[in-house]
Amino acid sequence: MAKRPYIVGNWKMHGTRSMLSEARAIDRAAERLIKAEVALAPPATLLHATRKEADLIGVGAQDCHTAEGGAHTGDISAAMIKDAGAGFVILGHSERRADHGETNEDVKAKGQAALSVGLNIIVCVGETEQQRDAGTALSVVTEQLAASLPECADAGDRVTVAYEPVWAIGTGRTPTVEEIGAIHAAIRASLLEIYGEAAQEVRILYGGSVKPDNASELLSIPEVGGALVGGASLSADSFVGIVAAAM
């Protein structure tokens, strides 16, 4: 049976406790929008509170460390994220790759750490504008994927991939429907090589300037199994508009 579209909000470094009202409103809307699976990734400081406020939606983190614990000031382990009530973690977001120099190998190690404590993972890949202009988007994305994904026997249940062209994040620009379709088809083919048959069940999200007014077109592209949403997830109204478009 086909999985429900998965709509995930990434709050990035936004949100104090006053934003929990948005999480509550999203959770309430999820009760009627049951044809989609909805999740939020608030900053780590709000993980526990969001989990307590929201019963229906998934709650996840935006990063984790590879180690179980130890002398890593400022970092958070996968076990701590799980303990805070999260069910998943986003890994390899382009902002972490750019701001923190995260490599594919780092992302893979983080993925292994997350899976080993029972968290599911959303692994992000995507080309820069320069790479797209050079015609290498497809090879960049499939190489990132092959090097970033951890081994996982039940990948169909535990792994999600998010295709996020770096140049589309927060810019209001999106690739064409054909461009997204081509990359998602290539991602599916790579996933089948990596995970075998289990890959059929891995959802591939699109991320990059998804808004209520373009969501329905983007979510109807074959192989697009949902959306990773940044800016538009910060308000319950716009995020719920995207969820509604998914159904």
**Distances from the Cα of 214 to the Cαs of 82, 112, 222, 242, in angstroms?**
33, 34, 15, 8
Q: Which is nearer to ligand PEP, 170 or 196 (CB)?
A: 170
Q: Which is nearer to ligand PEP, 186 or 218 (CB)?
A: 218
Active site residue 93: yes
Least Å distance, CB 217 to ligand PEP, is 15
Q: Report whether 11 belongs to an annotated binding site.
A: yes
Least Å distance, CB 167 to ligand PEP, is 10
SS3 percent helix, strand, coil of the chain, rounded to 5, is 50, 15, 35
Choose, from 22, 95, 164, 201, the residue flagged as catalytic: 164
Q: Report whether 209 belongs to an annotated binding site.
A: yes
Give 77's strand partners: 65
Q: Which is nearer to ligand PEP, 175 or 208 (CB)?
A: 208
3 state DSSP class of 91: strand
Q: Report whether 230 belongs to an annotated binding site.
A: yes
Active site residue 193: no
Q: Which is nearer to ligand PEP, 165 or 198 (CB)?
A: 165
Tokens at 72, concatenated: 């890593």
The residues binding ligand PEP (CB under 6 A) are: 10, 164, 169-170, 207-210, 228-232
Among residues 5, 18, 7, 71, the alpha carbon closest in space to that of 45 is found at: 18
Least Å distance, CB 151 to ligand PEP, is 25
**Distances from the Cα of 26 to the Cαs of 49, 211, 214, 246, in angstroms?**
14, 15, 19, 15
User: Which secondary structure element, helix H or strand E, spans residue 31, and what is its range?
Assistant: helix 20-32
Least Å distance, CB 240 to ligand PEP, is 15
Q: Report whether 70 belongs to an annotated binding site.
A: no
Choose, from 93, 102, 184, 201, the residue flagged as catalytic: 93
Residue nearest to ligand PEP (CB): 230
Q: Report whether 135 belongs to an annotated binding site.
A: no
Within 88-221, residue ranges assigned H as helices are 94-99, 104-116, 129-133, 137-148, 155-158, 177-195, 212-219
> Which amino acids are annotated catalytic?
93, 164
